[in-house]
Structure 1
Protein backbone atom coordinates (compact mmCIF):
# COMPACT_ATOMS: atom_id res chain seq x y z
CA UNK A 1 0.00 0.00 0.00
CA UNK A 2 1.40 3.39 -0.97
CA UNK A 3 0.90 5.92 1.81
CA UNK A 4 0.25 9.57 1.06
CA UNK A 5 0.69 12.54 3.42
CA UNK A 6 -2.88 12.21 4.68
CA UNK A 7 -2.33 8.55 5.61
CA UNK A 8 0.85 9.50 7.50
CA UNK A 9 -1.03 12.24 9.37
CA UNK A 10 -3.74 9.77 10.36
CA UNK A 11 -1.18 7.20 11.50
CA UNK A 12 0.76 9.79 13.47
CA UNK A 13 -2.35 10.99 15.29
CA UNK A 14 -3.52 7.44 16.03
CA UNK A 15 -0.09 6.52 17.42
CA UNK A 16 -0.25 9.50 19.78
CA UNK A 17 -3.80 8.72 20.92
CA UNK A 18 -5.57 5.65 19.60
CA UNK A 19 -8.67 6.62 21.56
CA UNK A 20 -9.22 9.78 19.52
CA UNK A 21 -12.75 9.86 18.18
CA UNK A 22 -13.27 9.50 14.47
CA UNK A 23 -14.89 12.94 14.43
CA UNK A 24 -11.83 14.56 16.08
CA UNK A 25 -9.47 12.63 13.84
CA UNK A 26 -11.37 13.75 10.74
CA UNK A 27 -11.34 17.36 11.91
CA UNK A 28 -7.59 17.24 12.59
CA UNK A 29 -6.78 16.06 9.05
CA UNK A 30 -9.49 17.96 7.18
CA UNK A 31 -11.70 15.07 6.10
CA UNK A 32 -15.35 14.24 6.53
CA UNK A 33 -16.03 11.68 9.25
CA UNK A 34 -17.06 9.03 6.71
CA UNK A 35 -13.96 9.57 4.52
CA UNK A 36 -11.73 9.43 7.58
CA UNK A 37 -13.35 6.21 8.78
CA UNK A 38 -12.87 4.61 5.33
CA UNK A 39 -9.19 5.60 5.26
CA UNK A 40 -8.51 4.26 8.75
CA UNK A 41 -10.39 1.06 7.88
CA UNK A 42 -8.23 0.67 4.74
CA UNK A 43 -5.06 1.11 6.84
CA UNK A 44 -6.31 -1.58 9.23
CA UNK A 45 -7.28 -3.94 6.40
CA UNK A 46 -3.85 -3.48 4.78
CA UNK A 47 -2.19 -4.53 8.05
CA UNK A 48 -0.50 -1.18 8.66
CA UNK A 49 -2.41 -0.81 11.92
CA UNK A 50 -1.82 -4.11 13.67
CA UNK A 51 -3.62 -3.34 16.93
CA UNK A 52 -4.62 -0.64 19.38
CA UNK A 53 -3.14 -0.69 22.87
CA UNK A 54 -2.57 1.25 26.09
CA UNK A 55 1.01 2.18 26.96
CA UNK A 56 1.62 1.56 30.67
CA UNK A 57 4.08 3.19 33.04
CA UNK A 58 6.19 0.26 34.35
CA UNK A 59 7.16 1.96 37.62
CA UNK A 60 3.57 2.90 38.47
CA UNK A 61 2.56 -0.69 37.69
CA UNK A 62 5.06 -1.96 40.27
CA UNK A 63 7.63 -3.06 37.70
CA UNK A 64 10.70 -1.15 38.87
CA UNK A 65 13.46 -3.13 37.15
CA UNK A 66 14.18 -2.87 33.44
CA UNK A 67 17.12 -4.29 31.51
CA UNK A 68 18.43 -4.85 28.03
CA UNK A 69 19.82 -8.39 27.80
CA UNK A 70 22.33 -9.20 25.07
CA UNK A 71 22.10 -12.93 24.33
CA UNK A 72 24.69 -14.95 22.46
CA UNK A 73 23.67 -18.36 21.20
CA UNK A 74 25.81 -21.49 21.25
CA UNK A 75 25.08 -22.40 17.67
CA UNK A 76 22.33 -21.61 15.28
CA UNK A 77 20.89 -25.11 15.45
CA UNK A 78 17.35 -24.82 14.00
CA UNK A 79 15.66 -26.80 16.78
CA UNK A 80 17.45 -24.95 19.60
CA UNK A 81 16.76 -21.63 17.93
CA UNK A 82 13.07 -22.49 17.52
CA UNK A 83 12.89 -23.43 21.21
CA UNK A 84 14.59 -20.16 22.22
CA UNK A 85 12.16 -18.09 20.14
CA UNK A 86 9.13 -20.06 21.36
CA UNK A 87 10.07 -19.63 25.03
CA UNK A 88 10.98 -15.95 24.70
CA UNK A 89 7.71 -15.28 22.87
CA UNK A 90 5.69 -16.76 25.76
CA UNK A 91 7.47 -14.89 28.58
CA UNK A 92 5.56 -11.80 29.79
CA UNK A 93 8.68 -10.22 31.27
CA UNK A 94 10.26 -10.07 27.81
CA UNK A 95 8.48 -7.10 26.25
CA UNK A 96 10.66 -6.88 23.14
CA UNK A 97 13.10 -9.20 21.38
CA UNK A 98 15.29 -8.32 18.42
CA UNK A 99 17.54 -10.53 16.29
CA UNK A 100 20.47 -8.31 15.36
CA UNK A 101 23.89 -8.18 13.79
CA UNK A 102 26.95 -7.67 15.96
CA UNK A 103 28.33 -9.55 18.95
CA UNK A 104 24.99 -10.53 20.45
CA UNK A 105 22.51 -12.58 18.46
CA UNK A 106 19.43 -11.30 20.29
CA UNK A 107 18.60 -8.30 22.42
CA UNK A 108 15.77 -8.61 24.92
CA UNK A 109 14.05 -5.82 26.78
CA UNK A 110 12.93 -7.23 30.11
CA UNK A 111 10.64 -5.56 32.65
CA UNK A 112 10.07 -7.13 36.09
CA UNK A 113 9.27 -6.11 39.66
CA UNK A 114 12.80 -6.11 41.07
CA UNK A 115 16.34 -7.50 40.83
CA UNK A 116 15.35 -10.72 42.60
CA UNK A 117 12.60 -11.39 40.06
CA UNK A 118 15.03 -10.66 37.23
CA UNK A 119 17.58 -13.08 38.65
CA UNK A 120 14.86 -15.72 38.91
CA UNK A 121 14.03 -15.16 35.22
CA UNK A 122 17.70 -15.66 34.30
CA UNK A 123 18.11 -18.83 36.36
CA UNK A 124 14.79 -20.54 35.67
CA UNK A 125 14.19 -19.48 32.06
CA UNK A 126 17.02 -17.96 30.07
CA UNK A 127 19.99 -19.99 31.31
CA UNK A 128 18.04 -23.25 31.00
CA UNK A 129 17.69 -22.84 27.25
CA UNK A 130 20.28 -24.98 25.51
CA UNK A 131 20.70 -22.42 22.73
CA UNK A 132 21.94 -19.73 25.14
CA UNK A 133 25.73 -19.49 25.45
CA UNK A 134 25.83 -16.26 27.44
CA UNK A 135 23.85 -13.20 28.39
CA UNK A 136 25.05 -9.75 29.33
CA UNK A 137 22.73 -7.40 31.19
CA UNK A 138 22.56 -3.64 30.90
CA UNK A 139 20.29 -2.23 33.61
CA UNK A 140 18.11 0.62 32.41
CA UNK A 141 18.68 3.53 34.78
CA UNK A 142 16.07 5.83 33.26
CA UNK A 143 14.12 6.16 30.08
CA UNK A 144 15.12 9.11 27.93
CA UNK A 145 12.73 8.30 25.08
CA UNK A 146 10.43 5.33 24.83
CA UNK A 147 8.57 3.96 21.83
CA UNK A 148 6.28 6.56 20.34
CA UNK A 149 5.49 4.81 17.09
CA UNK A 150 7.17 4.74 13.73
CA UNK A 151 8.49 7.98 12.33
CA UNK A 152 6.30 10.18 10.25
CA UNK A 153 6.81 10.89 6.58
CA UNK A 154 5.17 14.33 6.81
Structure 2
Protein backbone atom coordinates (compact mmCIF):
# COMPACT_ATOMS: atom_id res chain seq x y z
CA UNK A 1 0.00 0.00 0.00
CA UNK A 2 1.27 3.45 -0.94
CA UNK A 3 2.22 5.87 1.81
CA UNK A 4 0.24 9.12 1.74
CA UNK A 5 2.13 11.99 0.14
CA UNK A 6 3.27 14.77 2.43
CA UNK A 7 4.27 18.33 1.52
CA UNK A 8 7.91 17.36 0.97
CA UNK A 9 6.93 14.53 -1.40
CA UNK A 10 4.76 16.96 -3.38
CA UNK A 11 7.54 19.57 -3.54
CA UNK A 12 9.98 16.87 -4.66
CA UNK A 13 7.56 15.86 -7.44
CA UNK A 14 7.17 19.49 -8.52
CA UNK A 15 10.91 20.01 -8.77
CA UNK A 16 11.59 16.73 -10.59
CA UNK A 17 8.79 17.46 -13.03
CA UNK A 18 10.55 20.75 -13.88
CA UNK A 19 13.95 19.05 -14.21
CA UNK A 20 14.26 15.27 -13.97
CA UNK A 21 18.07 15.52 -14.10
CA UNK A 22 18.33 17.10 -10.65
CA UNK A 23 20.78 15.30 -8.40
CA UNK A 24 19.74 14.47 -4.85
CA UNK A 25 22.09 17.25 -3.66
CA UNK A 26 20.39 19.83 -5.92
CA UNK A 27 16.96 18.54 -5.01
CA UNK A 28 17.79 18.72 -1.31
CA UNK A 29 18.85 22.35 -1.65
CA UNK A 30 15.56 23.23 -3.35
CA UNK A 31 13.25 21.53 -0.86
CA UNK A 32 15.36 21.74 2.32
CA UNK A 33 16.09 18.03 2.79
CA UNK A 34 19.32 16.09 3.00
CA UNK A 35 20.46 14.30 -0.16
CA UNK A 36 19.93 10.91 1.51
CA UNK A 37 16.34 11.80 2.45
CA UNK A 38 15.73 12.98 -1.13
CA UNK A 39 17.13 9.72 -2.45
CA UNK A 40 14.88 7.62 -0.21
CA UNK A 41 11.80 9.66 -1.08
CA UNK A 42 12.59 9.62 -4.83
CA UNK A 43 13.12 5.84 -4.76
CA UNK A 44 9.80 5.33 -2.94
CA UNK A 45 7.91 7.64 -5.33
CA UNK A 46 9.37 5.74 -8.29
CA UNK A 47 8.48 2.36 -6.74
CA UNK A 48 4.92 3.50 -6.01
CA UNK A 49 4.46 4.72 -9.59
CA UNK A 50 4.17 8.47 -8.93
CA UNK A 51 7.26 8.93 -11.11
CA UNK A 52 6.74 6.81 -14.21
CA UNK A 53 9.89 7.68 -16.17
CA UNK A 54 12.52 10.26 -17.00
CA UNK A 55 13.01 11.50 -20.54
CA UNK A 56 14.39 14.32 -22.63
CA UNK A 57 12.00 16.82 -24.25
CA UNK A 58 13.07 17.04 -27.88
CA UNK A 59 12.45 19.99 -30.19
CA UNK A 60 9.92 18.79 -32.78
CA UNK A 61 10.83 21.44 -35.33
CA UNK A 62 14.58 20.90 -35.07
CA UNK A 63 13.82 17.27 -35.93
CA UNK A 64 12.07 18.45 -39.11
CA UNK A 65 8.55 17.73 -37.84
CA UNK A 66 7.21 21.14 -38.82
CA UNK A 67 3.54 20.24 -39.03
CA UNK A 68 1.44 19.55 -35.96
CA UNK A 69 -2.06 18.28 -36.69
CA UNK A 70 -5.14 17.49 -34.63
CA UNK A 71 -7.07 14.61 -36.17
CA UNK A 72 -10.56 13.54 -35.15
CA UNK A 73 -11.57 9.99 -36.03
CA UNK A 74 -14.94 8.26 -36.11
CA UNK A 75 -14.98 4.47 -36.14
CA UNK A 76 -16.89 2.49 -38.74
CA UNK A 77 -18.63 0.37 -36.09
CA UNK A 78 -18.74 0.73 -32.34
CA UNK A 79 -17.73 -2.55 -30.81
CA UNK A 80 -14.86 -3.80 -28.70
CA UNK A 81 -13.01 -5.56 -31.56
CA UNK A 82 -13.07 -2.49 -33.78
CA UNK A 83 -11.83 -0.27 -30.95
CA UNK A 84 -9.05 -2.79 -30.23
CA UNK A 85 -7.98 -2.84 -33.90
CA UNK A 86 -7.87 0.95 -34.00
CA UNK A 87 -5.89 1.08 -30.76
CA UNK A 88 -3.35 -1.41 -32.17
CA UNK A 89 -3.01 0.69 -35.31
CA UNK A 90 -2.46 3.94 -33.40
CA UNK A 91 0.01 2.45 -30.93
CA UNK A 92 2.20 1.33 -33.84
CA UNK A 93 2.42 4.78 -35.44
CA UNK A 94 5.31 6.96 -34.22
CA UNK A 95 3.83 10.11 -35.77
CA UNK A 96 0.91 9.90 -33.31
CA UNK A 97 2.05 11.85 -30.26
CA UNK A 98 -1.15 11.50 -28.26
CA UNK A 99 -4.42 9.65 -28.72
CA UNK A 100 -7.58 9.99 -26.67
CA UNK A 101 -10.88 8.09 -26.75
CA UNK A 102 -13.71 10.61 -26.44
CA UNK A 103 -17.36 10.97 -25.62
CA UNK A 104 -19.47 12.95 -28.04
CA UNK A 105 -19.51 13.24 -31.82
CA UNK A 106 -15.98 12.01 -32.58
CA UNK A 107 -14.59 8.76 -31.18
CA UNK A 108 -10.89 9.65 -31.03
CA UNK A 109 -8.67 12.71 -30.97
CA UNK A 110 -5.09 12.32 -32.21
CA UNK A 111 -2.20 14.74 -32.10
CA UNK A 112 0.15 13.97 -34.99
CA UNK A 113 3.51 15.41 -36.07
CA UNK A 114 4.64 15.21 -39.69
CA UNK A 115 7.36 16.77 -41.86
CA UNK A 116 4.80 18.59 -43.98
CA UNK A 117 1.63 18.44 -46.03
CA UNK A 118 2.78 15.55 -48.24
CA UNK A 119 3.52 13.37 -45.20
CA UNK A 120 0.20 14.35 -43.64
CA UNK A 121 -1.61 13.38 -46.83
CA UNK A 122 0.13 9.98 -46.90
CA UNK A 123 -0.66 9.43 -43.23
CA UNK A 124 -4.37 10.19 -43.65
CA UNK A 125 -4.93 8.63 -47.09
CA UNK A 126 -2.59 5.62 -46.89
CA UNK A 127 -2.74 4.73 -43.20
CA UNK A 128 -5.87 5.99 -41.44
CA UNK A 129 -8.62 6.01 -44.07
CA UNK A 130 -7.90 2.55 -45.54
CA UNK A 131 -7.94 0.92 -42.09
CA UNK A 132 -10.98 -1.30 -41.59
CA UNK A 133 -11.90 0.30 -38.27
CA UNK A 134 -12.04 3.90 -39.55
CA UNK A 135 -15.12 5.54 -41.06
CA UNK A 136 -14.34 9.27 -41.00
CA UNK A 137 -11.28 11.47 -40.44
CA UNK A 138 -11.22 15.23 -39.88
CA UNK A 139 -7.88 17.06 -39.82
CA UNK A 140 -7.02 20.46 -38.37
CA UNK A 141 -3.53 21.90 -38.89
CA UNK A 142 -2.14 23.72 -35.86
CA UNK A 143 -1.30 27.32 -36.77
CA UNK A 144 0.28 28.34 -33.48
CA UNK A 145 1.04 26.69 -30.15
CA UNK A 146 -0.19 28.75 -27.22
CA UNK A 147 0.83 26.31 -24.50
CA UNK A 148 2.44 22.89 -24.41
CA UNK A 149 2.37 20.30 -21.68
CA UNK A 150 4.89 21.23 -19.02
CA UNK A 151 3.71 18.94 -16.25
CA UNK A 152 0.73 18.16 -14.10
CA UNK A 153 -0.47 20.56 -11.42
CA UNK A 154 0.77 19.10 -8.15
CA UNK A 155 -1.79 19.82 -5.43
CA UNK A 156 -0.22 21.28 -2.30
CA UNK A 157 -1.94 20.61 1.01
CA UNK A 158 -3.39 23.60 2.87
CA UNK A 159 -1.47 24.62 5.98
TM-score by length of 1: 0.95
- Report if aligned partners of 1:26, 1:33 keep a CA contact under 8 Å in 2: yes
Q: 1:110 deviation in Å?
A: 0.1
Match of 1:11 in 2: 13
2:130 is equivalent to residue 128 of structure 1:
yes
Range that drifts further, 4-13 or 45-54? 4-13
Question: Alignment partner for residue 77 of structure 2, among 72, 75, 78?
Answer: 75
Q: Distance in 1 between matches of 2:69 and 2:6?
A: 37
Q: Distance in 1 between matches of 2:8 and 2:130?
A: 49
Match of 2:101 in 1: 99
Match of 1:110 in 2: 112
Match of 2:152 in 1: 150
TM-score by length of 2: 0.92
- Report if aligned partners of 2:75, 2:134 keep a CA contact under 8 Å in 1: yes
Q: 1:77 deviation in Å?
A: 2.2
Larger RCO: 1 or 2 (CA < 8 Å, sep 6+): 1
- Report if aligned partners of 2:75, 2:82 keep a CA contact under 8 Å in 1: no
- Report if aligned partners of 2:75, 2:133 keep a CA contact under 8 Å in 1: yes
Cα RMSD of the aligned pairs, angstroms, is 1.1
Structure 1 residues 74-121: Cα deviation after superposition (integer angstroms, max 9, x where no partner): 222222211110110010000100111121111000001111101101
Unpaired runs of 5+ in structure 2?
A: none
Task: Find the residue that maps to 1:96 and give its secondary structure.
Answer: strand
- Report if aligned partners of 2:73, 2:107 keep a CA contact under 8 Å in 1: yes
Q: Distance in 1 between matches of 2:9 and 2:21?
A: 17
2:40 is equivalent to residue 38 of structure 1:
yes
Task: Find the residue that maps to 1:125 and give its secondary structure.
Answer: helix
